[in-house]
Structure 1
Amino acid sequence: MGMDVAIATRIRMITEAGDGLSGPDLLGFALDHAVTETGGLGGMAHLRGTGARPLLLAAVHGLIRTVARDWEEVEPDGASAPARAMAQGAPVWAPTPGAGDGTGPALPAGSGLLAVPLITPEEVTGALSVLMVPAERPAPERWAAVEALAAWAAPRLRGDPPDRDQDRGRGRDQGRGRDQDQDRDQDQDRGRDRDQDQGQGQGQDPGQGQDPGRDGGRDRGGTRTLMADDQVSQALWHMSDAFFAVDSDWRVTFVNGEAERLLGTSRTTLGRTLWDAFARLRVDDAEPDLRSRYRRAAESGTPVGFEVRWPTDQRWYSMRLVPVPNGLTVYAADITASRAHEAERAAAERAAAERTARIGELTDALAQALTMRDVVNAIADRVLPPFGASGIVVQLIEGRVIRIAGAVGYPQPFLESIDGASIDDVSPVAEVYHTGAPAFVESVEEYTARYPAMAGRPAAAHKQAWAFLPLIVSGRNIGCSVVAFAEPRRLNAEERALLTALSGLMGQAIERARLYDIEHTRAKELQRGLLPRALPSLSSVTTAARYLPASEGIEVGGDWYDVIPLSGARVALVIGDVMGHGLSEAATMGRLRTAVNTLAELEFPPAELLTRLNDLVSDLGDNLYATCLYAVYDPARATCVFSSAGHPPPAVVRPGHPVRFAGGAPDPPLGAAQPPFETTEVSLEEGSLLVLYTDGLVESAARDIDRGMRHLASALSSATRAPGPGTPGATGTSATGTSATGTGAGTRRWSGCATRCWPSCCRRSSSPPMTRRCSSPAPMRSPPTTSPHGRCPRGRSPRARRAITSGTS
């Protein structure tokens, strides 16, 4: 294991400072610095006794007396970390030793013991052990530091084996001897304290009047750091970190050169309390909790570390408070630079996370966008705010012409002025198109200098900085996306890289939206071509219809409607829906519309017409189903007769009456029904409205059928109460689904309600065609219970059951 340069230098200075030490002083000196270098809680040193005696505790640092007493003797062939280190001649790491587990006496929970053997050329003389929290294997450089101190101290200990019999008066009654020895140690401690107090009272330094040879520099806590030693003082003085020490009365006893930057010069600090220095420097005002941290460290006897911003120089320091016998030592390392680096790293990580999040959000939004307008709005919502931009315009290349595909945040007159510009002109869009690389313009002055022919554009657009991003799809440059700013703006490298990455996502989404818009336009044109271009003008009724796609899909729907004049001023009204979407369904819808017109000319009654239409649908295939409602209005009798194949009931609005839904449960859809179909007759006095619709008006993923029918009834009631002047009564409804179709007739003007198909309830009737007369239509009610697929489970034919399971709208 190796040490970094700073630790190696410090170890060399420590060993040089301790070259003059020997015996207990040497061992204590090495142990003190081993604990300090590892940041341990404390430490102990054991030496081999004479003969086959146990390993004897020779030095202690930072451990309370009760803990140290348990380690006074260690069996050399036991499982404790010191014994194993000596037996193996190599360092041993033992996490969480505990009493009774065979690894030695108890130590604090969650701690670990690093034991390093003291090896001389002749033998292993002992072990140097450091107690550490948490119980994690020490870093290699810390491990190596303890090994270096042990290797330095071991050769200097030769010839100094401990003799506990002399020191402890061991005999047959070891317990009594140990107690007597403890009392003697306490008496010696009190005597030394008294001598020290007398010396200080006579103006002597705390270290004067003491005989290191007699006491060995040791007190009842184990060993004592020899700060008064000149060589040690020199080493501590030149440390790169600040170091100072206080005694048990909080008087400053030592400050090195770096510590003077924190507390002041030695002349103004030594001999005074630490609190005097804090008050003079106003430390308590800036860090009111600092004093209590010092006191807690001294009272607990446990090293404490924390970071603090020192008020005198506003720099950050990592402070480590290490309690020592009769005082406290403080190490303060300047970590301002490392904190700044850490802050920069954290900022970079946050920027990367934000960049990833922005890309993810834009990707999700673009995945849901279909039309060009959707894509442009998604880009504006996700890209403009993070960069503080005020506008975006998407320009696509069509031949040699630049076209505006979409924009946000630009004046409309400006967009009209640049739409249709030539790609051969000198412009930023042309430059990006030809080079395939983004261009960033930071100010109006730069824009004017680069494109003098377009010097008036910034003022017209109300922009002062731009990012021109190429839109490249499968290696083709299809145009340019311009992100603009209302103020001069310099984008840094990180922002430019992010915008460039986002432009790739924009290009893919814009090309997809462009193709979608083309296909959507074609689909709408095809759908419109299959429906009536205009409704006939009739004297007996006023009719109106509307088809409205209720989704953004490009597939053609199967909804259709028609108004067919009959003889005797009668009028046939028909509405239907082929289940499914696509060209096949649209073709089937065209066939059915043609068939209805042909059968209507033969003036079949509604039930008979649906029977023949059902045969036609059955001949087209087993998996083809359609709903249809066919009604005939007779103005002479003021009645309307209709039959339904799986279609929702018509709404009837009579003057002075609430909205009603006429008819009973509809028969199964075409392709699944078994004729005959039921016929319903409704009285329609002058001024009444008959409304036919498909089911999307009353049902959607966000609204059930009951709510939808109530909404429709409410809308129709409002329309009949407040018609617009000179126009049909306005009905405000919302449609959701794949398509929307509606038609209606009345003796006065009417506005149709439009949407797609309503899940109908099919009912099989074995009776002959019957007519239900409704002088007053059935009151509005909830539709009969339907299956999960939207079709009634009733009906005995296999085709009806297939309609239930496979029919969708």
Structure 2
Amino acid sequence: MAPSSARSPPPARSAGRPPGPPAPRARRPRRGRRPRAAPGPVARRRVVSARGEEPRDADRVDAALVDAVHRTGACAGGVYLREDGAPALRLVAVSGVPVESTGPWRRVPLSAPLAVGEAVREDRVVWVGPEDDTARASPGGTPHLPDHLALAAAPLHAADRDWGALLLMWPEQHPETATRRERGAVAAAARRVARALDDSASAPVLPDPPRPVASTPAPSPQGAQQAAVDYVERLPEGALALDLEGRITLVSGEAAELLGLDARRLLGTRPWQSLPWLETAVVEDHYRTAVVSRAPVSFTVLRPPRERLRFELHPDTSGISVRITRAPASGTGRRATDRAAGTSGALLPGAAPTGRLYQLVHLAAALTETVAVRDVVDLLADQVLPAFGADGLVLSATDAGRLRITGYHGYPRETIERLDGLPLDTVLTPAGQVLADGRPSFFASPGEMARRYPDAPRISGKQAWAFLPLIVSGRPVGCCILSYDRPRTFSAEERAVLTSLAGLVAQALDRARLYDTTRALARGLQEALLPRTLPALPGLEVAARYLPASHGMDVGGDFYDVIRLDPTTAAAVIGDVQGHNVAAAALMGQVRTAIHATAGAPPDQVLMRTNRVLADLETDLLVSCLYLHIDLAAREALLASAGHPPPLLHAPGLRCGALALDPGPLLGVDPSLAFPVDTVPLAPGTTLALYTDGLVETPGTDPEEAAGELARHLARHAARELDPLIDSLLAHARPTGHHTDDIALLLLRTPPNG
């Protein structure tokens, strides 16, 4: 029985069951993955609203979700959609579980180790068996999904658009592995949901909280209902019935007596709202387990002052039946059974923290995984504000005697601009004084604030505030401000929890600022080492892109360059230094300088001289490199490779594919080794694609197959201008934008008119 806010969406209704010649010296590309087949014809139901009209766009998606749950035999499901401008998924519709139980999983970063994120990143159906603990933890360490629950996630894509992912869940009775037919049913269900999204007349809305979706239950005769009530009243134990939103729909007289509250005051409420002694973290965990896993759960709770009650929760797709009995004395009877079954024993007063403190514990785990300041701000906005009922957030950091705002939520931009950069001794807000004293300040109303800081209420328009100093090892690092749109009294318990929260946020903010500073330094170093512009040469078109890795320090050793030698000759180079750190970026600059110094010599000599430079530097890092000497007058290029992936060649009348070069050793292995040289003709309209391995190497895939797919895409779009073409190649290779390695891509083209 999970603690919940007082206001909730309407209860969900229970669900019913209802080809050409090969290029010279070109490597024959291996067969890639088969193109995604178009979905076959499926009988599509016409869903109408209660007024008999055509449904809203959301109704189409909701109907497709319910259909997916029914067809696959799942007990629950949800639709996640991509957020605009953020690498994250948002839960927009859920069927089979109450909306309140979805809080920890409503927003999922694409990089999170969850099934929905993996399904989108890898464009495949992801299955997690009941005994598999991987892909089960929630983002940022928030409460995990119940154990012994089977999950399937499938990407939602149709009409060349990636919408997000479909998540389906089965109870613990499901086998550990899914059959081939089940996986096919999940994929087919995802296609139907994606088509419903494509059929939408407008862009889908991302609601918060997500929409509860359910089917209409079959009506029951009045007589059968009365018979069921009479049966329950004759039982010697208490009985409650909860709907999937946690509301009490039936309470027996014995249950009302055991709970100590009149039945009329219980009906229509949630147990933890009417009975505060049920608002505990352990009860919340058991309730969440029951509604999500559909598995029976039992636990014992102490009703003040000394009455011990045992609750047994029996869930299904329509709600939860709760059996209430008096528990035997401690250490006897059912409690031993509880221990054997792995459920809780007695919950004594003070033994379990409040729901808010419970959230604070999980927030501590989440903050340990934040990396950048933006991550800290997003986590606070997504989890802290709802947990404490706050409406606004300002996170500021000390910088040269001033308070610089590093993130905010719930404020207009003009207000933030006015508050940003205030001196620490400002009299406009309490933030500076809070940092100087090291003690938090709480203001329950604008009048209380105005007595000490008259201008503060007029600046923000808020009605209550909590100013929390962020201090690390006695050193102030910033201030966290939670604000409210209505006056609010802060209890002693809430003040204590918020003070503890400030310590967690301070550590995370200090660590994140250090990371951001280091990343900015590394990125600036790399940008300084890469060419700002590429030279213009008559008879040669060039375009290049560099993408840092999606995670980590955003710095690596990938490099490229085009060097003008004279009006008819040029050199092109691409390479990759081992590693992703400042040392790799620094070595990349030295290698690029060495190549510049020897450019114009034969390709093998350029690589040999650069190899000797690496030997003199005595570095432990290895470098792959591809060097081209381009002679536009002779319409040919001389190539030498130091262990680098071969370029893709597209020329009129030839099949596009990877060149079959004779690769030489990596730079840094042995300064005495030689490098073979190959010759490639450059007929008018020839395109060469030079790239680093980050473009084609992903876990679980064959780089040669990926290069073959890229070559086929290049052949289909070779007529496009170079800038749109290079962007198209990157989007094809990394449709989700997620890549664990740096990527450099350089395109060279001779005009078709010669």
TM-score with structure 1 length normalisation?
0.48
Q: Partner residue of 1:615? A: 612
2: CA distance between counterparts of 1:532 and 1:292?
A: 76
2:703 to 693, 702, 705: 705
2: CA distance between counterparts of 1:708 and 1:476?
A: 51
Q: Partner residue of 1:214? A: none
Q: Partner residue of 1:636? A: 633
Q: Partner residue of 2:395? A: 394
Q: Partner residue of 1:422? A: 423
Q: Partner residue of 1:189? A: none
Q: Partner residue of 1:451? A: 453
1:605 to partner: Cα distance: 1.9
Q: Partner residue of 1:407? A: 408
Q: How does 1:8-407 map to 2 (within 5 A)?
A: 287-290=233-236, 309-310=256-257, 338-339=306-307, 346=347, 352=353, 354-355=355-356, 357-407=358-408
2: CA distance between counterparts of 1:453 and 1:420?
A: 17
1:464 to partner: Cα distance: 3.0
List per-residue Cα deviations over 1:150-170 (Å, max 9, x = no partner): xxxxxxxxxxxxxxxxxxxxx
List per-residue Cα deviations over 1:176-217 (Å, max 9, x = no partner): xxxxxxxxxxxxxxxxxxxxxxxxxxxxxxxxxxxxxxxxxx
Q: How does 1:635-654 map to 2 (within 5 A)?
A: 635-654=632-651
1: CA distance between counterparts of 2:352 and 2:703?
A: 49
List per-residue Cα deviations over 1:314-347 (Å, max 9, x = no partner): 689xxxxxxxxxxxxxxxxxx985349999x959
1: CA distance between counterparts of 2:633 and 2:730?
A: 32
Is residue 444–residue 458 contact of structure 1 (8 Å, CA) maintained in 2? no
Q: Partner residue of 1:530? A: 529
Q: Partner residue of 2:694? A: 696
1:736 to partner: Cα distance: 2.2
1:359 to partner: Cα distance: 3.5
1:647 to partner: Cα distance: 0.5
Where structure 1 has 5 or more consecutive residues not aligned to the other structure, the ranges are 1-282, 294-305, 317-334, 750-809
User: Kindly tell me: are residues 407 and 637 of structure 1, through their superposed partners in 2, closer, same or farther at Cα, counting changes over 3 Å?
Assistant: same
1:493 to partner: Cα distance: 2.5
Is residue 423–residue 430 contact of structure 1 (8 Å, CA) maintained in 2? yes
2: CA distance between counterparts of 1:625 and 1:726?
A: 33
2: CA distance between counterparts of 1:313 and 1:668?
A: 81
User: Kindly tell me: are residues 534 and 387 of structure 1, through their superposed partners in 2, closer, same or farther at Cα, counting changes over 3 Å?
Assistant: same
Letter in 2 for 1:611: M
3-state secondary structure, aligned to 2:394: strand
User: Kindly tell me: are residues 449 and 574 of structure 1, through their superposed partners in 2, closer, same or farther at Cα, counting changes over 3 Å?
Assistant: same
2:439 to 434, 437, 440: 437
Q: Partner residue of 1:122? A: none
User: Kindly tell me: are residues 473 and 562 of structure 1, through their superposed partners in 2, closer, same or farther at Cα, counting changes over 3 Å?
Assistant: same
3-state secondary structure, aligned to 2:426: coil
Q: Partner residue of 1:736? A: 739
Greater percentage in helix: 1
User: Kindly tell me: are residues 704 and 312 of structure 1, through their superposed partners in 2, closer, same or farther at Cα, counting changes over 3 Å?
Assistant: closer
1: CA distance between counterparts of 2:676 and 2:486?
A: 72
User: Kindly tell me: are residues 701 and 418 of structure 1, through their superposed partners in 2, closer, same or farther at Cα, counting changes over 3 Å?
Assistant: farther
2: CA distance between counterparts of 1:291 and 1:412?
A: 58
3-state secondary structure, aligned to 1:402: strand
3-state secondary structure, aligned to 1:608: helix
TM-score with structure 2 length normalisation?
0.51
Q: Does 1:627 align with 2:624?
A: yes
3-state secondary structure, aligned to 1:631: strand
Where structure 2 has 5 or more consecutive residues not aligned to the other structure, the ranges are 1-228, 240-252, 264-302, 312-345
2: CA distance between counterparts of 1:606 and 1:574?
A: 10
Is residue 558–residue 585 contact of structure 1 (8 Å, CA) maintained in 2? yes
2: CA distance between counterparts of 1:356 and 1:574?
A: 57
1:372 to partner: Cα distance: 0.9
Is residue 523–residue 556 contact of structure 1 (8 Å, CA) maintained in 2? yes
User: Kindly tell me: are residues 536 and 434 of structure 1, through their superposed partners in 2, closer, same or farther at Cα, counting changes over 3 Å?
Assistant: same
Letter in 2 for 1:692: L
Letter in 1 for 2:457: A
Is residue 566–residue 572 contact of structure 1 (8 Å, CA) maintained in 2? yes
Letter in 2 for 1:695: D
2: CA distance between counterparts of 1:375 and 1:360?
A: 16
User: Kindly tell me: are residues 711 and 369 of structure 1, through their superposed partners in 2, closer, same or farther at Cα, counting changes over 3 Å?
Assistant: farther
1:701 to partner: Cα distance: 4.1
1:484 to partner: Cα distance: 2.3
Letter in 2 for 1:649: P
User: Kindly tell me: are residues 661 and 360 of structure 1, through their superposed partners in 2, closer, same or farther at Cα, counting changes over 3 Å?
Assistant: farther
2: CA distance between counterparts of 1:380 and 1:725?
A: 38
2: CA distance between counterparts of 1:406 and 1:595?
A: 43
User: Kindly tell me: are residues 641 and 510 of structure 1, through their superposed partners in 2, closer, same or farther at Cα, counting changes over 3 Å?
Assistant: same
3-state secondary structure, aligned to 1:352: coil
2: CA distance between counterparts of 1:580 and 1:370?
A: 20
Letter in 2 for 1:574: V
1: CA distance between counterparts of 2:571 and 2:459?
A: 60
1: CA distance between counterparts of 2:725 and 2:663?
A: 33
User: Kindly tell me: are residues 286 and 742 of structure 1, through their superposed partners in 2, closer, same or farther at Cα, counting changes over 3 Å?
Assistant: closer
3-state secondary structure, aligned to 2:669: coil
3-state secondary structure, aligned to 1:452: coil
1:564 to partner: Cα distance: 1.3
User: Kindly tell me: are residues 578 and 393 of structure 1, through their superposed partners in 2, closer, same or farther at Cα, counting changes over 3 Å?
Assistant: same
Letter in 2 for 1:289: L
User: Kindly tell me: are residues 491 and 286 of structure 1, through their superposed partners in 2, closer, same or farther at Cα, counting changes over 3 Å?
Assistant: farther
1:398 to partner: Cα distance: 1.8
1:681 to partner: Cα distance: 2.4
Q: How does 1:524-603 map to 2 (within 5 A)?
A: 524-554=523-553, 557-567=556-566, 569-600=568-599, 603=600
2: CA distance between counterparts of 1:312 and 1:406?
A: 46
User: Kindly tell me: are residues 285 and 582 of structure 1, through their superposed partners in 2, closer, same or farther at Cα, counting changes over 3 Å?
Assistant: closer
Is residue 663–residue 680 contact of structure 1 (8 Å, CA) maintained in 2? no
1: CA distance between counterparts of 2:479 and 2:674?
A: 63
2: CA distance between counterparts of 1:475 and 1:313?
A: 50
1:561 to partner: Cα distance: 1.9
1:636 to partner: Cα distance: 2.2
3-state secondary structure, aligned to 1:456: helix
2: CA distance between counterparts of 1:731 and 1:747?
A: 19
How many residues align structurally? 431
3-state secondary structure, aligned to 2:746: strand
Letter in 2 for 1:576: G
